[in-house]
Chains A and B, each alone.
Chain A
Amino acid sequence: MTGLRLRKVASSLFVAFCAFSVILALIPLALIFFFVISQGILALNLNFFVHMPTPVGEPGGGMANAIVGTLILTALAALMAVPIGVVSGVYMSEYGGTRFAAAVRFAADTLNGVPSIVIGMFAYGVVVLPFKQFSAIAGGFALGIMMIPIIARTTEELLLLVPGSLREGALALGASRARAVFSVVVPAAAPGIVTGVVLALARIAGETAPLLFTSFNNRFFTIRLNQPISSLTVQVFTYAISPYADWHRQAWAGALVLVTIVLICSLLARLATHRLERMHAH
Chain B
Amino acid sequence: LGTGAFALVLILIVVGIAVLLADQSILSIQKFGLNFWRTSTWDPVAGDFGALPFIWGTLYSSILALLIATPVALGIAVFISELCPDRLRQPLVFLTELLAAIPSIVYGLWGIFVLVPAVRALETSLPDALRHTPLFSGPPLGIGMLSAGLVLAVMVTPFTASVSREVLKAVPAAQREAAYALGATRFEAIRAALYFARTGIVGAIMLGFGRALGETMAVTMVIGNNPRVSLSLLAPQYTMAAVIANEFSEAANQLYLSALVEIGLVLFIITLIVNSLSRLLIWSMTRSSGIAFEAEPDTGPEPDLGEAPA
Q: Which residues of A contact B96 (CB under 8 A)?
A: 22, 25-26
Structural contact, B1 and A95, CB atoms closer than 8 A? yes
Cβ of B41 under 8 Å from chain A:
no
Structural contact, A121 and B7, CB atoms closer than 8 A? no
Structural contact, A113 and B21, CB atoms closer than 8 A? no
Cβ of A152 under 8 Å from chain B:
yes
Cβ of A67 under 8 Å from chain B:
no
Structural contact, A164 and B267, CB atoms closer than 8 A? no
| CB < 8 Å neighbour of A206 from B10, B103, B306 | B103
Structural contact, B7 and A101, CB atoms closer than 8 A? yes
Beyond A115-B215, A118-B214, whether A11 also contacts B186 by CB under 8 A is yes
| CB < 8 Å neighbour of A95 from B3, B98, B248 | B3
Residue interface bits A200-238, CB-to-B below 8 A is 1, else 0: 001101111100110010000000000000000100110
Which residues B53-94 have CB closer than 8 A to chain A?
Answer: 71-76, 78-80, 83-84, 92, 94
Q: Say which one of A41-49, A54-62, A102-110, A190-198 lies at the interface with B.
A: A102-110
Structural contact, A208 and B187, CB atoms closer than 8 A? no
Q: Which residues of A contact B215 (CB under 8 A)?
A: 115
Q: Which residues of A contact B140 (CB under 8 A)?
A: none
Structural contact, A108 and B16, CB atoms closer than 8 A? no
- Measured between alpha carbons, how far is A35 from B111 in the docked complex, in Å? 11
Beyond A29-B99, A110-B275, whether A121 also contacts B264 by CB under 8 A is yes
Structural contact, B79 and A19, CB atoms closer than 8 A? yes
Q: Which residues of A contact B14 (CB under 8 A)?
A: 107, 110-111, 114
CB distance from A216 to the nearest CB of B (A): 7
| CB < 8 Å neighbour of A10 from B9, B187, B245, B271 | B187
CB distance from B290 to the nearest CB of A (A): 14
Which residues B1-41 have CB closer than 8 A to chain A?
Answer: 1-4, 6-11, 13-14, 16-17, 20-21, 24
Beyond A122-B16, A122-B21, whether A84 also contacts B9 by CB under 8 A is yes
Structural contact, A113 and B271, CB atoms closer than 8 A? yes
Structural contact, B213 and A115, CB atoms closer than 8 A? yes
Cβ of A240 under 8 Å from chain B:
yes
Q: Which size bracket describes the interface of B in this complex?
A: 35 or more
CB distance from B98 to the nearest CB of A (A): 6
CB distance from A254 to the nearest CB of B (A): 9
Beyond A35-B110, A206-B104, whether A118 also contacts B10 by CB under 8 A is no
Beyond A15-B83, A97-B307, A110-B14, whether A32 also contacts B3 by CB under 8 A is no
Q: Which residues of A contact B114 (CB under 8 A)?
A: 31, 35
Structural contact, A103 and B11, CB atoms closer than 8 A? yes
Cβ of A126 under 8 Å from chain B:
yes
Q: Which residues of A contact B13 (CB under 8 A)?
A: 107, 111, 145, 148
Structural contact, B20 and A117, CB atoms closer than 8 A? no
| CB < 8 Å neighbour of A90 from B3, B9, B84, B221 | B3
Residue interface bits A127-171, CB-to-B below 8 A is 1, else 0: 000000010000000000100110010000000100111111001
Most buried by A among B73, B94, B109: B109
Q: Which residues of A contact B185 (CB under 8 A)?
A: 7-8, 10-11
- Chain A residue at minimum C-beta to C-beta distance from B151: A28
Residue interface bits B216-233, CB-to-A below 8 A is 1, else 0: 110001000000000000
Given contacts A11-B186, A35-B114, A263-B101, 10 further A-B contacts (CB under 8 A): A7-B185, A18-B75, A18-B76, A115-B213, A124-B248, A148-B9, A164-B303, A164-B308, A258-B105, A266-B97
A-B contact pairs, 27 of them (CB 8 A): A10-B185, A18-B75, A25-B76, A25-B99, A29-B95, A31-B114, A36-B109, A36-B110, A39-B113, A87-B3, A91-B6, A104-B11, A113-B272, A115-B241, A117-B267, A118-B271, A121-B21, A126-B16, A126-B20, A165-B304, A171-B309, A180-B308, A208-B103, A216-B249, A237-B105, A240-B105, A262-B102
Q: Residues on A close to B: CB < 8 A?
A: 7-8, 10-11, 13-15, 17-22, 24-26, 28-29, 31-32, 35-36, 39, 83-84, 87-88, 90-92, 94-95, 97, 100-101, 103-104, 107-111, 113-122, 124-126, 134, 145, 148-149, 152, 160, 163-168, 171, 177-178, 180, 202-203, 205-209, 212-213, 216, 233, 236-237, 240-241, 248, 251-252, 255, 258-259, 262-263, 266, 270
